[in-house]
Amino acid sequence: MPDPIEVRKIPIESVTDASGLARLIDGGVLEADRVLAVVGKTEGNGGVNDYTRLLADRAFREVLVARGTRTAEEVARVPLVWSGGTDGVLSPHATVFATADPASVPSSDEPRLSVGVAMSEVIAPEDIGRPAMVATVAAGVRAAMRTAGIDDPADVHYVQTKTPLLTLDTINDARARGRDVVTEDTLASMDISNSTTALGIAVALGEVEPPAAEQIHRDLSLYSSVASCSSGVELDRAQIVVVGNVRGIGGRYRAGHGVMRDAIDADGVWDAIRSTGLPLPDRPRAADLGDRLVNVFVKCEADPGGRVRGRRNIMLDDSDVHWHRQIKACVGGVVASVTGDPAVFVSVAAVHQGPSGGGTVAAIADLGDPGDPGRLG
């Protein structure tokens, strides 16, 4: 049986601020050596050259090394998944997942939060956007499920990944070895890396059959209902965080999930929160959540038809502000209106992650005593 999980949300007050993590460790809320993964939003442009992700990565790893016994090389293998871009009201923050001593947490036979992490094999630049990457990610997801003690894919509620995208250097590397790449547009490769990864997750969980090459990033009927995929320049393999529920593990937390059918589907967010087991009225408000909601994790995508509920928008035609930033700000506002907290994880480029024009939603709730003074989220 894996160890139970402690999970906390902390603010990021500047690009290199990891003081929230340090406070959790110094206050005895969690141990540095037990940190399994971090999933966070940074304040950069969310593009290929968003180096706020690298700055946050370094700051958080420095805290884990300084306050724990793991070496820098060991800490380097901890998945820190950073999604750049806090457009609109979105606020920079991080969600920290750590194991806890079983003797220190409430026992329960009910499903409670479990987390498994894995690093895939190296993903070559020529494999991005192709079936080989799907297979590599699927193998990594299965490994993370085993670590989490999850046998049934139905118990998986959230899979967060970070995968490589294409840069000029990696494109030239492929060319030098006589290989071609799926695209030479580095920004487009971000979306393609995400969508290919999502299909790898869907294959691992039995949601879809292994796709043909021509279906990747094209057949929008194929999707995972729990995938949340980001990509960046800071790695050459898939970082994988599988979040689900396991009976008998104990602890305070439970995960749930749902989907947003379109960019303004607040009910989809409420469905995900409700699926954690939090008792809510038929027509809930943010005030009904109290301090029981740890965080929600949402993917979003501009509808390829250019309409939301029949009304035309110009996100995909706008040459001044890329649609990535517009849809992220839009969905961030919708989600924050549900949670009452702008520090929510909203990430763009959601092809194969939820229904087309919508996206996946995962939620983590604290089902224990809401009066815990140590919880920051």
Q: Kindly list the catalytic residues.
A: 162, 230
The residue written with tokens 């494109």 in the block is: 171
Q: Please, which residues have CB within 8 angstroms of residue 304's CB and are 6 or more apart in sequence? A: 220, 316, 356, 357
**What are the backbone angles phi and psi of residue 291, rounded to the nearest 5°?**
-115, 30
Q: How far apart are CA 228 and CA 241, in angstroms?
A: 10
CA dist., res. 240 & res. 258, Å (int):
20
By three-state DSSP, how is residue 253 classified?
A: strand
Name the nearest CA neighbour of 307 among 359, 361, 266, 264.
Answer: 264
CA distance 300 to 304: 12
Neighbours of 84 (CB within 10 A): 25
Instruction: For residue 71, give the amino acid letter.
Output: T
With beta carbons less than 8 A apart as the criterion, state whether 336 and 287 touch: no
Q: In what order do the strands lie in the sheet with 80-84?
A: 5-11, 93-99, 35-42, 80-84
Q: Closest Cα partner for 232 from 162, 314, 142? A: 162
- For residue 298 the two structure tokens come to 């949402």
> Phi and psi dihedrals of 314, rounded to 5?
-115, 20
For residues 110 and 99, give the distance between their C-alpha atoms in angstroms, rounded to a whole number: 18
CA separation for the pair 50, 288 (Å, rounded)? 36
